[in-house]
Amino acid sequence: MWETLNVIGTIAFAMSGVNVALEERYDLMGVYILGFITAFGGGAVRNLLIGVPVAELWNQGTLFTIAFLVMTGAFLFPHLVRWTLLRRGVFFDAIGLGAFSVQGALYAHSMGLPLSASIAAAALTGTGGGMIRDVLAGRKPLFLQKEIYIAWTIIPGIVVGMGWVSHPLELLGIVLLVVALRLFSVHYQWSLPSRLPPKQQS
């Protein structure tokens, strides 16, 4: 299940990065840079947080190859990338959010780290790559926009971190739940409560 989540998340986030690069009219090298950063940036941030050497990422040669092939195909056939259920490539981003948030929580839990580490690892693995991508593309990061985004990663962080789910089908169900909630939050414009700053008196 670990490898399956890795592959799903890598493909989804690579496609998400390509989608942003094409919208910003980047060349082929820009497509590769944004795609790789989106697919692997979250894992790098997570590793820094929980004390795993970032160099561990370089042991994922197969995933780098998969991401490269996916990005190349998406660049050659851009109409495939533009098939999204919602605006701005949120479909691919939602899949990556679900897969990588569960994977991040699994990683922290397998190391025997506390629940707080599983929640943080889920959040950073699920959103870190997209955050770096949006900053490089000069966009407002998705997790700062009004629709609920990063908050959904708390679900896998808690249920996986507490050891409540472990069977592959249960983990897949959590992935699908996060994906569905993210898509619904955009479609129905769900948002968390916010408060405007008080007006300053003249």
191 - beta bridge partners?
Answer: 147
Angle, CA of 4, 153 and 172, to the nearest 5°: 30
Contact between residue 3 and residue 66 where contact means Cβ atoms under 8 Å apart = no
Kindly tell me if the per-residue pLDDT of 85 is higher than 50.
no
Taking each helix axis from N to C terminus, what angle separates 90-110 and 168-187, rounded to the nearest 10 degrees? 140
pLDDT of amino acid 186: 85
CA–CA distance, 145 with 148 (Å, rounded to integer): 8
Tens of pLDDT, residue by residue over 31-70, are: 999 999 999 988 888 888 777 777 777 788 889 999 999 9
pTM of the predicted structure, to 2 decimals? 0.83
And the tokens for 173?
Answer: 């169900």
Nearest to residue 182, comparing CAs of 95, 103, 100, 119? 95
- For residue 181, the model assigns a pLDDT of 95
